[in-house]
C-alpha cells in the first residue's frame, strides 16, 4: 500500500495505470510484429489513389484539445443561397494504412479504444500512425472520408453525401482559444487570423452548430453537463484537479460529429448493408428519474419520454446552474450505458435516447476507437462496390466485444482517476464534505463530493440513501494504490 508521501508522482500513477490495464485485459505496449509492420509503412503524405475528389482548396481546420496530436476530424463551411450553409466533415482514412487482420489491427481489436488516464495515454494505434501518418495534421495532404451536409438557416439538414477526398488542414486550433474568441473578449487564435477567410468560416460553423443543437433539443436531446476533471501536474507532482469546461468550440465539433454520424448511419442503411449502430436504450430506471424530478416539483410521465426529461433538465439548469452538473451525473447514471449493436438489412435498430436520434453510429474517430475503424471499412467497401469486410455473425461478436472493452476502458480511467483523487485527499482524512449520491445497488453506494469533484464509496450510513440524495459525508480512508476513497454518512442536507 502507498502512503500519501509515496503517492505524489506521475511515475507511481503510470505503474498503477499499467497494472489496471493489464487486469482488464488491455495490451499496454505494441508487439514486435506490430512495430515491424509500422517500420515498413510509407512515411510520406497519405493520399488515396484516384478517383477521389480534391478538396484541398477548402479552408479546412481542426479543433481539438490543446494537447491533442491524433487529429481525426477537420471541418469547414461553405455559404449557400437563402442563408443555408454546406458543412463538410473530413474523417481520417485510417484504413488506408491499418489493414484488417494485420498485427496493428490485432492490437486495435484487443483494446478497441485509446485509454486516457491522467498518468499516461495508451493509444489504440502506435503514435507514428495516430499522431502522424493517419492524423489530419496541419499543412499535410491526407486522404479522408468526407461527409457533406446542407443545413438550412433553421438547422434542418436538407441533403447529404459521403465520399472519399483529398484534404489539407490549414490550421490546427484548440478548443479553449477558439471558444475564448467566439464567446467574446479575446482575439482570434493567431493561426486562424493567418489564413485568409478562416475567421469568417469559423463564425459560420459556430452559427450552424448552434442551429443544429437547437434543432436536436426540440426533438428531446438531453443537455447534460458533468464535471470532467483533469490532473494538474508540476513536473512529476500532482497539484490539483482542473475542471474541463464546456464551450462553444466544443459544441461545434460535438454537433457536427453527431450530424455526420447520422448521415453515415442512414447512408449504410439505405445501401442495405449490416453495420454497427451506437445506441442508448430507454432507461430501465425511469421510475427513479420520475422520483427525482418530483423532488424538484416537476412531473414526468410514467413512461420514458426524452422531450419531457429535456424540458425538466433545461429548467433545472436555469434555476440552479451551480448544482446542475451534480443532477446531470445522477441522470447519466440512471440512463444506463451506451452500447454497440448490429443493424441488419431491412431492420431498424433502436435509437439513442440521450441524443434523441434514431440513426446514429460511431465513425468519426478511427484513430481512437475501433468501432469507427470497422464502420470506415464497411463504408469504403460500400462506396467501392467491393465485398464487405465483415459478415453478420462476425460483426455481431465485434459489437459485443467493443461494448465490453469500452466498459473496461471506462473502469480503467475511473480507477486511475480515483488514485489521483486519493493522492489529493489523503491529507484530508477526517474532514466533512457536501455530497450527492451517484450510485446505489447491491454492489454498494457511491457519493460525489462537490469540492473537489471526487467520487467515493459510502461505507457506513448508506441505508436508505438512493441516487440523487444530498448528504453530508466524512472522509474516513484513502488508498492510492487501489484507488479507494471511503466515506461515512454525517447527516443529510436534502
> Residues 164-223: pLDDT tens digits?
999 999 999 999 999 999 998 789 999 999 999 999 999 999 999 999 988 888 877 777
- 307 domain residue, yes or no: no
Which of 380, 171, 364 is closest to 256 using CA atoms?
Answer: 364
Amino acid 4: pLDDT: 39
- The mean pLDDT value for 155-162 works out to 93
| Nearest-angstrom CA–CA distance, 97 and 135 | 11
Number of domains the chain is built from? 2
- 309 domain residue, yes or no: no
- The mean pLDDT value for 320-329 works out to 80
Statement to judge: residues 490 and 381 lie in one domain = no
- 294 domain residue, yes or no: no
Statement to judge: residues 79 and 110 lie in one domain = yes
Statement to judge: residues 359 and 482 lie in one domain = no
- 72 domain residue, yes or no: yes
Statement to judge: residues 348 and 454 lie in one domain = no
Q: 263-299 pLDDT, tens per residue?
A: 999 999 999 999 999 988 878 889 899 999 998 999 9
Beta-bridge partner residues of 449: 435, 454
- 365 domain residue, yes or no: yes
| Nearest-angstrom CA–CA distance, 328 and 491 | 23
Select from 367, 386, 420 the last residue of a domain: 420
Statement to judge: residues 215 and 257 lie in one domain = yes
Q: Return the CATH number at 487.
A: 2.40.50.140
Amino acid 44: pLDDT: 59
- The residue range of the domain holding 368 is 10-281+339-420
Band (5; pLDDT cuts 50, 70, 90): very low
Amino acid 357: pLDDT: 77
Amino acid 50: pLDDT: 56
Dihedral pair phi/psi, residue 253, rounded to 5°: -70, -45
C-beta of residue 342 within 8 angstroms of C-beta of residue 274: yes
Statement to judge: residues 369 and 482 lie in one domain = no
| Nearest-angstrom CA–CA distance, 194 and 200 | 12
Dihedral pair phi/psi, residue 63, rounded to 5°: -130, 120
- 327 domain residue, yes or no: no
Q: 41-80 pLDDT, tens per residue?
A: 877 555 555 568 999 999 999 999 888 889 999 999 999 9
- 286 domain residue, yes or no: no
| Nearest-angstrom CA–CA distance, 242 and 255 | 25
Q: 71-84 pLDDT, tens per residue?
A: 999 999 999 988 89
Q: Is 117's pLDDT higher than 80?
A: yes
Statement to judge: residues 433 and 404 lie in one domain = no
- 322 domain residue, yes or no: no
- Compute and round to an integer the Cα radius of gyration of the chain: 23
C-beta of residue 202 within 8 angstroms of C-beta of residue 178: yes
Select from 388, 420, 452 the last residue of a domain: 420
Grid coordinates representing 158 are 436538407
Statement to judge: residues 377 and 449 lie in one domain = no
Select from 386, 420, 454 the last residue of a domain: 420
Statement to judge: residues 367 and 460 lie in one domain = no
Statement to judge: residues 461 and 360 lie in one domain = no
Amino acid 450: pLDDT: 82
Statement to judge: residues 351 and 410 lie in one domain = yes
Statement to judge: residues 407 and 451 lie in one domain = no
Amino acid at each position: 500500500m502507498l502512503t500519501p508521501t509515496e503517492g505524489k508522482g506521475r511515475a507511481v500513477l503510470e505503474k498503477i495505470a499499467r497494472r489496471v490495464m493489464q487486469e482488464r485485459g488491455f495490451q499496454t505496449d505494441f508487439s514486435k510484429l506490430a512495430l515491424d509492420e509500422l517500420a515498413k509503412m510509407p512515411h510520406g503524405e497519405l493520399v488515396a489513389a484516384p478517383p477521389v475528389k480534391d478538396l484541398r482548396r477548402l479552408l479546412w481546420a481542426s479543433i481539438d484539445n490543446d494537447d491533442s496530436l491524433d487529429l481525426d476530424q477537420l471541418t469547414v463551411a461553405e455559404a449557400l443561397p437563402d442563408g443555408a450553409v454546406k458543412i463538410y466533415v473530413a474523417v481520417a482514412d485510417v484504413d488506408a494504412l491499418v489493414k484488417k487482420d494485420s498485427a496493428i489491427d490485432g492490437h486495435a481489436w484487443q483494446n478497441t479504444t485509446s485509454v486516457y488516464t491522467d498518468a499516461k495515454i495508451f493509444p489504440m494505434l502506435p503514435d507514428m500512425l495516430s499522431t502522424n501518418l493517419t492524423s489530419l495534421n496541419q499543412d499535410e495532404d491526407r486522404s479522408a472520408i468526407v461527409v457533406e451536409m446542407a443545413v438550412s438557416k433553421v438547422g434542418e439538414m436538407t441533403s447529404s453525401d459521403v465520399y472519399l477526398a483529398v484534404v489539407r488542414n490549414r490550421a490546427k486550433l484548440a478548443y479553449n482559444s477558439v471558444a475564448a474568441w467566439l464567446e467574446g473578449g479575446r482575439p482570434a487564435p493567431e493561426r486562424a487570423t493567418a489564413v485568409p477567410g478562416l475567421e469568417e468560416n469559423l463564425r459560420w460553423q459556430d452559427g450552424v452548430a448552434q442551429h443544429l443543437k437547437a434543432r436536436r433539443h426540440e426533438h428531446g436531446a438531453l443537455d447534460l453537463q458533468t464535471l470532467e476533471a483533469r490532473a494538474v501536474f508540476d513536473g512529476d507532482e500532482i497539484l490539483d484537479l482542473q475542471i474541463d469546461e464546456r464551450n462553444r468550440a466544443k459544441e461545434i465539433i460535438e454537433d457536427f460529429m453527431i450530424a455526420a454520424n447520422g448521415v453515415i448511419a442512414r447512408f449504410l442503411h439505405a445501401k442495405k448493408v449490416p453495420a454497427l449502430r451506437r445506441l442508448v436504450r430507454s432507461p430501465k430506471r425511469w421510475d427513479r428519474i420520475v422520483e427525482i424530478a418530483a423532488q424538484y416539483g416537476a412531473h414526468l410521465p410514467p413512461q420514458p419520454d426524452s422531450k419531457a426529461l429535456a424540458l425538466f433538465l433545461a429548467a433545472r439548469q436555469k434555476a440552479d446552474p451551480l448544482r446542475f452538473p451534480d443532477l446531470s451525473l445522477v441522470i447519466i447514471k440512471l440512463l444506463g450505458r451506451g452500447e454497440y449493436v448490429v443493424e441488419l438489412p431491412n431492420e431498424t435498430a433502436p435509437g439513442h435516447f440521450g441524443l434523441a436520434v434514431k440513426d446514429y453510429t460511431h465513425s468519426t474517430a478511427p484513430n481512437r476507437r475501433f468501432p469507427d475503424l470497422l464502420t470506415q471499412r464497411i463504408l469504403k467497401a460500400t462506396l467501392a462496390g467491393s465485398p464487405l469486410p465483415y459478415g453478420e455473425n462476425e460483426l455481431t461478436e465485434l459489437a459485443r466485444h467493443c461494448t465490453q472493452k469500452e466498459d473496461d476502458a471506462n473502469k480503467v480511467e475511473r480507477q486511475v482517476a480515483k488514485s489521483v483523487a486519493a493522492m489529493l485527499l489523503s491529507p484530508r482524512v477526517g474532514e466533512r464534505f457536501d455530497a450527492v449520491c451517484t450510485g446505489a445497488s447491491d454492489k454498494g453506494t457511491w457519493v460525489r463530493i462537490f469540492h473537489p469533484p471526487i467520487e467515493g464509496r459510502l461505507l457506513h450510513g448508506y441505508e436508505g440513501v438512493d441516487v440523487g440524495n444530498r448528504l453530508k459525508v466524512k472522509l474516513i480512508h484513502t488508498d492510492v494504490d487501489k484507488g479507494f476513497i471511503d466515506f461515512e454518512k454525517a447527516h443529510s442536507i436534502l
